[in-house]
Amino acid sequence: MPNPDNDLLRKALAKAVAGLTGSGRLDVVEVAADGVTSFKIMRDDHGVPRGRRWHTPWSDLAQDREALLRAADVDPDDDTVLVCSSPGSSRADQAFEWLRATRPDAPTLRVDDSIAALVTEVLGADPLTRSYDLVVLRPRTDGTLELATVPLFPVQARPGATTTMTLHCERGGPNGTAFAVVTWQGHDPLLLSVQSAALPPGSYEITAELRRPGRVRFSGLPTLSGDPRGWAELIAEVPARLPSRATGPGHLICAIEVCGAEPKVAERVGRARQVVSTLSNLPGLSVSVVAYGAHSFDRSVKDHRVEVRAWRVDVSTAQSVLDELEERGPITQGYPYHPHAAQLEDMLAAVDRGLAGDPASPVALLTIGDRPPHPPKIDNSRVLPCPSRHDWRAVVAHLEQSRNVVFGAVVDYQVGDKLPRVWQLLGSAALANFDALDIRGLTSGLGLTSDAVPVPFPLIDVE
């Protein structure tokens, strides 16, 4: 049967705790049979009420008023509640009177039992003064990721409240996927708790339960454990893009610029070989090798045609073709071949022709080169027009829209340089620097392999 005195005290304490704002403090002093117990309660940065408790036995107080007041440590600016849990004891009554005289404004209550458990109960039942959100990542349409939050519990939510949501999890790295709960200080998130687990990639229906202020439990997942990472560490692990997943065995076309200096041509072929070798364990992959050079602009020297050296061959055959290509070296070099542009537009047209007769399958075009294409007609670039008047922009758009080609490129560029539009398009799915080739990133960007980049938070709005 509930004790009416305890109910009164619970309500009084709950009201006093609810009234705590900002840096305000609540002092609760219990005069008990064995001494004086003080509780100092204040809210932390998340609005969670936290209490500190200390006990001073009668033996240390020696019936001394000043000693009692020092032990109770009642601050004149703090809200105060005075409780006597040992009524009838002359020592306790005396002490209680001294305290009442010191803070005549404070509510006073008399109960039969120690109040420590009741204070804990009141703090655990305090409704939220800040909303709680879960940190997630949201993919944008271009594949990049933005940090977002999902609301868990609003202000005034009480322990026992639940929220259920469906989240997607990718591989989360060594610490697993972090379920980070934040409150807000203005527009800035403040990390309340982080729990993590290594989860198999996939979708999860997750229920978050508010256990008490400051404590959220997630169910629908393997057991989560505490994660020592701070906010900065977690944010630092967020990748720029949503990791790509392999689209399955398809068709990789390696288009290689084979004009210019011999060492550079050899390096380009070498980069193609590196990529192809990485994919040697990919069953069912077919590879094509296309070589293109520079146009001749002297009527006495016949223009070289783009060479389709191999079309839809296996990895082993492609490697042999690349060996031959490297051995042969540049096909066009010096005058009268154009020194600053290449037959990129003719290569694209040749790829388009080749794909026209192929069965539909995922196609990745990896272009390894540097020079720009020739425009279909004179433009501001002053690069001479393509003799066949191929329009590289139109062919790229056609390959993308009608042949479902994804584009990757290995280009010699300096980070920070403005990349020419053609290479932005030809590297739209995967762009690698010639001198710092990330093969894994390249192949995953092209959809040939899965991405190894960990994603530290759950994802929402994943199609």
Partner 1 sequence: MPETPRHHIAMWGAPGSGKTTLLAALSVALNRRDDDWKIVGQNPESSAYLTDMTSALTSGKEFPEASTALETYQWALIGPPPTGLFRRQAKRASTMIGLTMVDAPGGHFAPSKRTGRTGGAEERQEELMANLTQSRGIVFLFDPIREFEVGDAYDHLHGPLNRLAEKMLETNQFEGGKLPHHIAVCITKFDDPRVLQTAHKQRLIAPDLDDKHQFPRVGVEDARELFRELSRVSATGSAEMVMNSLDKFFHRDRIRFYVTSSIGFYVDQHSETFDWNDYLNLVPDEADKAALRIRGPVYPINVVEPMLWLGERLARQGRSR
Count of residues for the chain?
463
Burial of 422 (0-12, 13-18, 19+ CB in 10 A): buried
- Binding segment for partner 1 (CB under 8 A), chosen from 85-93, 141-149, 381-389, 394-402, is 381-389
Choices 207-215, 353-361, 379-387, 394-402 (CB under 8 A): range interacting with partner 1: 379-387
The site map against partner 1 for 416-455 (x = CB under 8 A) is ----------------------------------------
Nearest approach, Cβ of residue 326 and partner 1 (Å): 22
Taking the complex as a whole, how short is the minimal distance between the CB of residue 345 and partner 1, in angstroms? Answer: 14
Q: Pick from 64, 112, 298, 314 the residue near partner 1 by CB under 8 A.
A: 298
Q: 15 or 340: whose CB is closer to partner 1?
A: 340
Q: Which window, 94-102, 143-151, 191-199, 330-338, contacts partner 1 (CB under 8 A)?
A: 330-338
Q: Which is nearer to partner 1, 317 or 388 (CB)?
A: 388
**CB neighbourhood size of 382 (10 A):** 8
**Of residues 43, 338, 371, 390, which one binds partner 1 by CB under 8 A?**
338
Q: Is 297 in the site for partner 1 (CB under 8 A)?
A: yes
State phi, psi for 408 to the nearest 5 degrees: -130, 150
Question: At closest approach, how far in Å is the CB of 420 from partner 1?
Answer: 16
Residue 311 within binding range of partner 1, rule CB under 8 A: no
* Of 374, 268, 239, the residue nearest 329 (C-alpha): 268
* Binder of partner 1 out of 15, 52, 140, 340 (CB under 8 A): 340
Residue 301 is a binding residue for partner 1 (CB under 8 A): no
Q: How far is the CB of 434 from partner 1 (least distance, A)?
A: 20
- How many residues form the binding site for partner 1 (CB under 8 A)? 17
What is the Cα–Cα distance from 97 to 78, expressed in whole angstroms? 19
Q: Which C-beta is closer to partner 1: that of 21 or that of 414?
A: 414
According to the binding rule CB under 8 A, does residue 299 interact with partner 1?
A: yes
- Contact footprint for partner 1 (CB under 8 A): 297-299, 334-336, 338-340, 376-378, 380, 382, 384-385, 389
